[in-house]
Amino acid sequence: MSSSPSSARWPSCAGWRSPPIPSTRRNSSVDSATCTTARKLWPIGMEAAITKKDCIITAYRDHCTFLGRGGTLLQVFSELMGRKDGCSKGKGGSMHFYKKDANFYGGHGIVGAQVPLGCGLAFAQKYSKDETVTFALYGDGAANQGQLFEALNISALWDLPAILVCENNHYGMGTAEWRAAKSPSYYKRGDYVPGLKVDGMDALAVKQACKFAKEHALKNGPIILEMDTYRYHGHSMSDPGSTYRTRDEISGVRQERDPIERVRKLILSHDLATEKELKDIEKEIRKEVDEAIAQAKESPMPDPSELFTNVYAKGYGAEKGEEGGAPGGEKGQRLQMNLCHGDITAPDCKEWLGPWGNH
């Protein structure tokens, strides 16, 4: 098997069973990390069909998507721990992974909100005629929202190269899809927009579907892909995930549909590697993961001045400094000091916060 840096990224993803939240939680911005196990492989199939010039935007199950875009394990774990070396400098946490240089636009915590943004990205792509597409990912719970249909309508009207991907893990928090959707055939929900149902646990099927969808979107406008996947764990760290479904259901999917196991069997049956080679790779990856966690723990917390970078506070000097450095301008520095010390009654803060400063 190849050991090039890009192919080495995929096993990293496969070896990552779940984020190490409990031991790092105390100093972390994470209080509701959403795991990505089971759906971890399908973004890899998607990456195999597209280029980094294509855009991806997703919800909060963003960790493996970020790795697929070329992010590093250190950036992942540092972000989960709220550390400076995180991909969003520790300011975003679990739900806000970004990698703009690889056209990955997050990482969004508000259910469904990323879909209209994704269609906006597709609008920019069509406008600049660069022959690229946007994959806008959302969950089965989000699929029932009005904004999705609004975004789809305008995308179809303007033939935007938007691929709406419904990641159907069959649950929205503790609600099963059949309790939330009159028709859980999400690929058919587009009405005037075509859709495909894809086995999201089969990376090769995903690759084919994404390749087809990209070609379709460039020629004809939007298309919906429903990725049939599963959520092994609860919705987030605070949900045991076993009160609204049976343990048999979960273990049944693990035994029959596990995406990593499927690839493992394929590799073995085609003599692409031996059991021992695969075990060695897994061992190597576990070591890689452990080292990244240890390194992330050493990463410092973000400097308080970072509170004032990458935010919209125009005209107050707060954004004038170098990125990552102290904000420039006397007024900005005074404002920073007052806010850092919690004095929101100070004149600068009142001016900046407007009506909110009164609370």
CA 134 – CA 122 distance, rounded (Å): 5
Partner interacting with residue 157 (select from ligand TPP, Mg ion, none; CB below 5-8 Å by kind): none
Q: CB of residue 296 vs ligand TPP: minimum separation in angstroms? A: 24
Cα 41 to chain centroid distance, Å, stands at 13
Contact 68, 44 (CB under 8 A): yes
CA dihedral 237, 240, 243, 249 (to 10 degrees): 100
Number of residues that bind ligand TPP (CB under 6 A): 13
Of 98, 135, 171, 232, the residue at the interface with ligand TPP (CB under 6 A) is 171
Q: CB of residue 197 vs ligand TPP: minimum separation in angstroms? A: 16
Please identify which residue in the block is written with the tokens 């048999």: 248
In degrees and rounded to multiples of 5, residue 180 shows phi and psi of -110, -25
Q: Does the footprint of ligand TPP cover residue 352 (CB under 6 A)?
A: no
Stretch 193-232: interaction string toward ligand TPP, x if CB under 6 A: ----------------------------------------
Using CB positions, name the residue nearest to Mg ion: 139
The smaller minimum CB distance to ligand TPP, of residues 110 and 124, is found at: 110
| Per-residue burial over 219-247, b = 16 or more CB atoms within 10 Å of its CB, e = otherwise | eebbbbbbbbbbbbbbbbbebebeeeeee
Could you say which residues in the range 123-142 bind Mg ion, by CB under 5 A? 139-140
CA angle 145, 199, 144 (to 5 degrees): 10
Partner interacting with residue 110 (select from ligand TPP, Mg ion, none; CB below 5-8 Å by kind): ligand TPP
Partner interacting with residue 41 (select from ligand TPP, Mg ion, none; CB below 5-8 Å by kind): none
Q: Does the footprint of ligand TPP cover residue 235 (CB under 6 A)?
A: yes
Q: Does the footprint of ligand TPP cover residue 9 (CB under 6 A)?
A: no
Amino acid (one-letter) located at 102? A
The smaller minimum CB distance to ligand TPP, of residues 171 and 352, is found at: 171
Detail the DSSP E strand segments found in the chain: 55-57, 134-139, 162-168, 171-172, 175-176, 195-199, 223-228
Q: CB of residue 236 vs ligand TPP: minimum separation in angstroms? A: 8
Stretch 115-144: interaction string toward ligand TPP, x if CB under 6 A: ------------------------xxxx--
CA 115 – CA 138 distance, rounded (Å): 7
Could you say which residues in the range 242-301 bind Mg ion, by CB under 5 A? none
Partner interacting with residue 83 (select from ligand TPP, Mg ion, none; CB below 5-8 Å by kind): none
Partner interacting with residue 104 (select from Mg ion, ligand TPP, none; CB below 5-8 Å by kind): none
Q: Does the footprint of ligand TPP cover residue 41 (CB under 6 A)?
A: no
Of 61, 84, 126, 207, the residue at the interface with ligand TPP (CB under 6 A) is 61
Of 7, 27, 51, 110, the residue at the interface with ligand TPP (CB under 6 A) is 110
Partner interacting with residue 111 (select from Mg ion, ligand TPP, none; CB below 5-8 Å by kind): ligand TPP
Look at residue 180 and give its three-state secondary structure: helix
Q: Does the footprint of Mg ion cover residue 169 (CB under 5 A)?
A: yes
Task: Classify residue 88 by burial, with Cβ atoms within 10 Å: 0-12, 13-18, 19+.
Answer: buried
Task: Classify residue 5 by burial, with Cβ atoms within 10 Å: 0-12, 13-18, 19+.
Answer: exposed
The smaller minimum CB distance to Mg ion, of residues 71 and 172, is found at: 172
CA 121 – CA 134 distance, rounded (Å): 7
Q: By C-alpha distance, which of 65, 71, 73 is closest to 47?
A: 65
Residues near Mg ion (CB under 5 A) are 139-140, 169, 172
Residues near ligand TPP (CB under 6 A) are 61, 109-111, 139-142, 169, 171-173, 235
